[in-house]
Structure 1
């Protein structure tokens, strides 16, 4: 098998990750012409096109394979950096920006427990890139080789990956006391939920509908929805009187205790099981990520 030039592989990754040749050139501190030359040389070596020149740019099937290989090489280099820093700190080079360790985590976990879990690794210098998506879609990033691990609701291990249960995140419906008193003084019921706007993360987010469906034993639920692509933003929208939202109890515990928010459907919670998937490789970096996420999740989330 041919040996691929690491600089050309990182060039391919930069084009995809940055979304274009010009931005890739700036990231790599080379000219745009040099970016094109490296990509053409790599495509000539592989014998096929690696990038579809569309808007946005996207990798071909062969491009995806080489991107995954590039990220595995980054992981090996990160492992080496950790080992060198322990044996001889003066020998360990600094992590380059183009060697980021990418993982996908759902927005609600980022807003509550995941960043504290990763804090020590970030302070140690691990070049993390955290990509956010809905918890039902983070696994797609891992399937495509764009990240080396993800927090997701998927229970079964993906091909070539290992999986660990993290725990359950509890969701509840929230509103301000004034809003609830004005719109539905008895709280959410099967008769009034369709009249209220629900604030969702984005159009892929089915948390609001799933919560209502389970609460009232309904098979299908149609909701009036507003979209705010941030977990914290959803809470701020509720505080501003936009409507009702279903969010993690962890995120609003303090606001509930202070009386700024109230439980719109007391006694009902939706429990969402979370899992950590990562490549099935021997890697100190992967082990450190797995350990950090699992230990914090065990202390914060409900039992699996």
Structure 2
């Protein structure tokens, strides 16, 4: 956009996660094409294509071939996965403690996706916005990949 900059911040990693109990119930025979066709998925919203791309590319499964629900609220989305309502693509940063303590399990390590993030801002902006931009860019270096 004319007059704006898109400054790269880094990448946010997404992983295909499920609760440990969910894995025991639905994936006792392993994560494969047959089990994925029967297992409920949780997808953020209809614009979120990460989940469907992973299953299509890795297992040849289009979205209409497996059960899923949309949960378009970040905290509720993670809570649904944590409660065992389905499995889904979650930002690693959002659930790091749940991964570390085993509450959530990475069911497809090969399916992780790194999504580049950008800070969009005016080329010419106020001093306060310059400070905000610099704070965001510096903080992202410590948080993102």
With the length of structure 2 as denominator, give the TM-score of the two structures: 0.86
* Matching residue of 1:221: 62
Unaligned runs of 5+ in 1: 1-157
With the length of structure 1 as denominator, give the TM-score of the two structures: 0.44
Q: 1:293 to 1:211 in 2, by over 3 A?
A: farther
The alignment of Structure 1 onto Structure 2 pairs a total of residues equal to 143
Higher relative contact order (CA 8 A, sep 6+): 2
Q: What are the within-5 Å matches in structure 2 for residues 131-210 of structure 1?
A: 158-210=1-53
Distance in 1, matches of 2:2 and 2:71, equals: 33
Unaligned runs of 5+ in 2: none
Work out which of the residue numbers 268, 273, 276 in structure 1 matches 2:119. Answer: 276
Work out which of the residue numbers 266, 277, 298 in structure 1 matches 2:141. Answer: 298
**RMSD of aligned alpha carbons:** 1.9
Q: 1:296 to 1:187 in 2, by over 3 A?
A: farther
Large movers: runs of 4+ above 3 Å: none
Considering fraction of residues, name the structure with more helix: 1
**Larger radius of gyration between Structure 1 and Structure 2:** 1
Q: 1:186 to 1:253 in 2, by over 3 A?
A: farther
Considering fraction of residues, name the structure with more strand: 2
Given that 2:13 and 2:91 are in contact with CA atoms closer than 8 Å, whether structure 1 keeps it comes out as yes
Q: 1:283 to 1:242 in 2, by over 3 A?
A: same
1:217 Cα shift?
Answer: 6.6
